[in-house]
Structure 1
Amino acid sequence: MIIAIGSDLCNIERIEASLERFGERFENRVFTEVERAKARRRPYTRAGTYAKRFAAKEAFSKAVGTGFRAGVFMRDIGVVNARSGAPTLALTGGAAARLASLIPEGHEPFVHVTLTDDHPWALAFVVIEARPL
């Protein structure tokens, strides 16, 4: 069953400006090491890579209904790729706890993520599903 849906649209140029202004401080504050490594491998599309992941973090925070408060922090939400290559989320801390609180007993969470970009926009959708054990 679908528990929640979230979406976000992010301006790639805004992320690029933050990277230029704050550099590593911005990267370390917002993104996980896995996300930073992926962006380093994409020097020509670094801002777009980050913008899609920023949008996914926002979309998840909307889906769980907290935004970035109640213990849900950006660095607790990491975009990773499944073995198939499809994006999904790796959650820690307050983000993982909030997700667990939404899932009915006898079910496990499954997070669907889709990312896309068309300069200057990056878009993410997050669907949280509860699957019976």
Structure 2
Amino acid sequence: MQIGTDIVSIDRIKESLERFGDRFLDRVFNQEERDTLNLNRVQSVAGYWASKEAISKALGCGIGRDLSFLDITISKDRRGKPHFKLSVEAGERFNIRASSLSIAHDGGFAVAVVAIEF
């Protein structure tokens, strides 16, 4: 089992949204996420960002050549519990058996923690 965590300033994400707009969103979030994510709630956007970073750390590769932001899709179930799935290609590469994701916001920060079993 591997654990990944990330913390990000909500203001940092807000600045990226203001400065880069759709370019930022297109680089980080796939269409499925953009359709369901409340883009007006910067803390939610920051939580999804932190989740993708935490997942990449648990996978041991970071965001880069082996895994892009767009390879990871964050979603929530009907109760609001976050989950993630990988693209087909990334899923085959990492072969995840089970996972758990948690996202929190407080004091101007968003934090995500993920546990992944291979």
TM-score for the superposition, normalised by structure 2: 0.88
Please report how far the alpha carbon of residue 94 of structure 1 lies from its aligned counterpart in structure 2 after TM superposition: 4.7
Alignment of 1:10 with 2:5, yes or no, is no
* Structure 1 residue identity aligned to 2:112: A
Indicate conservation of the 8 Å contact 1:73/1:95, yes or no.
no
**CA deviation digits over 1:85-128, x for unaligned, max 9?**
3111021055323321xx5xxxxx11100001014100000101
Q: Match of 2:92?
A: 97
Please report how far the alpha carbon of residue 32 of structure 1 lies from its aligned counterpart in structure 2 after TM superposition: 1.8
Q: Match of 2:115?
A: 127
Alignment coverage as a number of residue pairs: 118
Q: Distance in 2 between matches of 1:94 and 1:8?
A: 24
Counterpart among 71, 74, 83 of residue 69 in structure 2: 74
Q: Match of 1:23?
A: 21
- Runs (4+) off by over 2 Å: 37-40, 82-85
Alpha-carbon RMSD: 1.8
Counterpart among 48, 51, 70 of residue 53 in structure 1: 48
Please report how far the alpha carbon of residue 67 of structure 1 lies from its aligned counterpart in structure 2 after TM superposition: 0.6
Counterpart among 10, 31, 34 of residue 33 in structure 1: 31
Aligned CA distance change for structure 1 residues 120 and 95 (closer, same or farther; 3 Å): farther
Q: Distance in 2 between matches of 1:98 and 1:60?
A: 14
Please report how far the alpha carbon of residue 83 of structure 1 lies from its aligned counterpart in structure 2 after TM superposition: 4.6
Identical amino acids, percent of aligned pairs: 37
Alignment of 1:110 with 2:98, yes or no, is yes
